[in-house]
Structure 1
Amino acid sequence: MFLEQVAFLGPTPTGRHVLIVEDDPDILELLRFNLQQEGFSVSTAADGATALEKVKRRPPDLVVLDLALPGLSGLEVCRRLREHPDWRRIPVIMVTAKAEEADRVVGLELGADDYVTKPFSVRELMARVRAILRRAAAAQQQRAPEVYERGRLRVDFDRHEVFVAGEKKELSRKEFELLRFFVQNPNRVWDRLQILDLVWGEDTHVEPRTVDVHIRRLRRQIEADDGHPRAILTVRGVGYKFDERGLD
């Protein structure tokens, strides 16, 4: 067997959804098992047409895509993902055989983000999944609008200004970066270690509870009642979620 089950490798990527498209049931099941062990929610498809239907119903955060699929090929699935305005930024990791080098090149030209070649290590694949999702989150932050407005909150990213119900608020640099992170990634649950990685940086050595302290301070600035927050929500036992509806 060229794939192995691996131990849990890091913090739970809460809320991240991965679609596996693979027609070999043994490989599909082992990938599903290991991704779920890593904390991902997982859906699966054994052919390209089913994969596109599942993307339509619930766009994933990342697709692990075998190129050698029955019917609609993996290359065609990749092409359609990249042509669709709502799906074009979904990261894709191709799974190829050594004999499929030409297809691998075409896949990368179509916009696939990375590839692994059979036989491959599940540990390596998990590392690539995490790396690509970190890059995607960073790219999402860079694509942020210059001004964010919702309900009583207005954030001007260029001027580094925050207004709540028309009143200017003075935020520290880290509080501002934390607010930027939340408004750019709404309605998703993040655990403390993920927030540390994405806001403080992976090489910063601070305690996870630092996140709690900054969130309390940020709530005092933007919540109508920081004792009963409606925008920056605590998901008990997991982490935090930014709900834009709480700003209305």
Structure 2
Amino acid sequence: MADTPRILVVDDEEDLCEILKFNLETEGYEVDTALNAEEALKLNLSSYNLLLLDVMMGEISGFKLASILRKDPSTASTPIIFLTAKDTENDMLTGFSLGADDYISKPFSIRQVIARVKAVIRRTADKPTEQENNLLEYETLTLDTKRIKATIDKQEIPLTKKEFEILRLLLENKGSVFSREEILSRIWKDEVYVLDRTVDVNITRLRKKIGPYGKNIVTRLGFGYCFEY
């Protein structure tokens, strides 16, 4: 992400969006606004350092939007502050259960919002790096090593444990060639009676499962396999 923290304000009150945008930009942040969740979902939400979400919006509430974001590996760790006119304990608990970093009740002072925003960005400054470390990506192929999930164009690919580990090894070391023996020692480790042919079988299955990216797993005759990019 850019050095200047990026913030997205999602609220159906246009005046409030503009007020927050003006004041946060005065503090040095880069700010975009959206008047509803549907509009927000058309944006590249993974590019933001913080999301300010109104709870009470039309078809998709702030809570529902947060739930959608938490299920997407690219936004699962993005900090969220809820803005709401509802300040009951149950609503607050719902917000925090969805992974909110803060919860601000309306009406609020702009100074209060700015202070909370600064605190959350400061506290979560390292989170995007941690998230990126969990993701291995090549074009639209993504391997989430924390959630043990492989996706292509955000559609999950069902891999076995061994297939996942082989793909992880190759993606972590793009361009490096691994012999069958190296793959066996790293993936199968102390398992006995495992043949070199086992690696070939798993590679063949893996190529089929990752479709257009199967061709990137290249055989170097006499040497082994690598992921070419």
Equivalent residues in 2 for 1:131-142, closer than 5 Å: 131-139=119-127
Q: Note closer, same or farther for the CA distance 1:139–1:103 as it changes in structure 2 (3 Å cut).
A: same
TM-score (norm. length: structure 1):
0.49
Q: Hey, which bits of structure 1, 4+ residues long, moved more than 6 A?
A: 141-145
1:50 deviates by 1.0
Equivalent residues in 2 for 1:174-185, closer than 5 Å: none
Contact 2:63-2:95 at 8 Å conserved across structures: yes
Contact 1:14-1:39 at 8 Å conserved across structures: no
TM-score (norm. length: structure 2):
0.53
Counterpart check, 1:70 vs 2:55: no
Q: Higher mean Cα deviation, 133-142 or 37-46? A: 133-142
Larger Rg, first or second structure (1 or 2): 2
Corresponding residue of 1:32: 21
Please list the CA deviations of residues 97-144 of structure 1 after superposition, one character each: whole Å capped at 9, or x if unmatched.
Answer: 135543332121011110100111111111111111111124456779
Corresponding residue of 1:22: 11
Corresponding residue of 2:94: 106
Equivalent residues in 2 for 1:202-221, closer than 5 Å: none
Counterpart check, 1:61 vs 2:49: yes
Question: Which of 23, 28, 31 is the matching residue for 1:42?
Answer: 31
Q: Note closer, same or farther for the CA distance 1:109–1:125 as it changes in structure 2 (3 Å cut).
A: same
Counterpart check, 1:129 vs 2:126: no
Partners of 1:75 and 1:81 in 2: CA distance: 10
Corresponding residue of 2:105: 117
1:49 deviates by 1.1
Contact 1:14-1:40 at 8 Å conserved across structures: no
1:28 deviates by 0.9
Please list the CA deviations of residues 200-238 of structure 1 after superposition, one character each: whole Å capped at 9, or x if unmatched.
Answer: xxxxxxxxxxxxxxxxxxxxxxxxxxxxxxxxxxxxxxx
Question: Which of 38, 49, 52 is the matching residue for 2:41?
Answer: 52
Q: Note closer, same or farther for the CA distance 1:69–1:142 as it changes in structure 2 (3 Å cut).
A: closer
Partners of 1:135 and 1:28 in 2: CA distance: 24
Partners of 2:127 and 2:105 in 1: CA distance: 26
Corresponding residue of 1:3: none
Q: Note closer, same or farther for the CA distance 1:41–1:73 as it changes in structure 2 (3 Å cut).
A: same
Corresponding residue of 2:144: none
Partners of 2:43 and 2:88 in 1: CA distance: 26
Partners of 2:48 and 2:28 in 1: CA distance: 14
Partners of 2:105 and 2:68 in 1: CA distance: 22
Please list the CA deviations of residues 152-190 of structure 1 after superposition, one character each: whole Å capped at 9, or x if unmatched.
Answer: xxxxxxxxxxxxxxxxxxxxxxxxxxxxxxxxxxxxxxx
1:18 deviates by 0.3
Equivalent residues in 2 for 1:166-205, closer than 5 Å: none
Partners of 2:60 and 2:88 in 1: CA distance: 16
Q: Note closer, same or farther for the CA distance 1:102–1:111 as it changes in structure 2 (3 Å cut).
A: same
Equivalent residues in 2 for 1:150-169, closer than 5 Å: none
Match of 1:54, SS state, is coil
Please list the CA deviations of residues 25-80 of structure 1 after superposition, one character each: whole Å capped at 9, or x if unmatched.
Answer: 11111001101111111111111111121134x62110000001111111110001
Higher relative contact order (CA closer than 8 Å, sequence separation 6+): 1
Which ranges in structure 1 are unaligned for 5 or more consecutive residues? 1-12, 146-248
Say what the alpha-carbon RMSD is for the aligned residues.
2.2
Contact 1:92-1:112 at 8 Å conserved across structures: yes
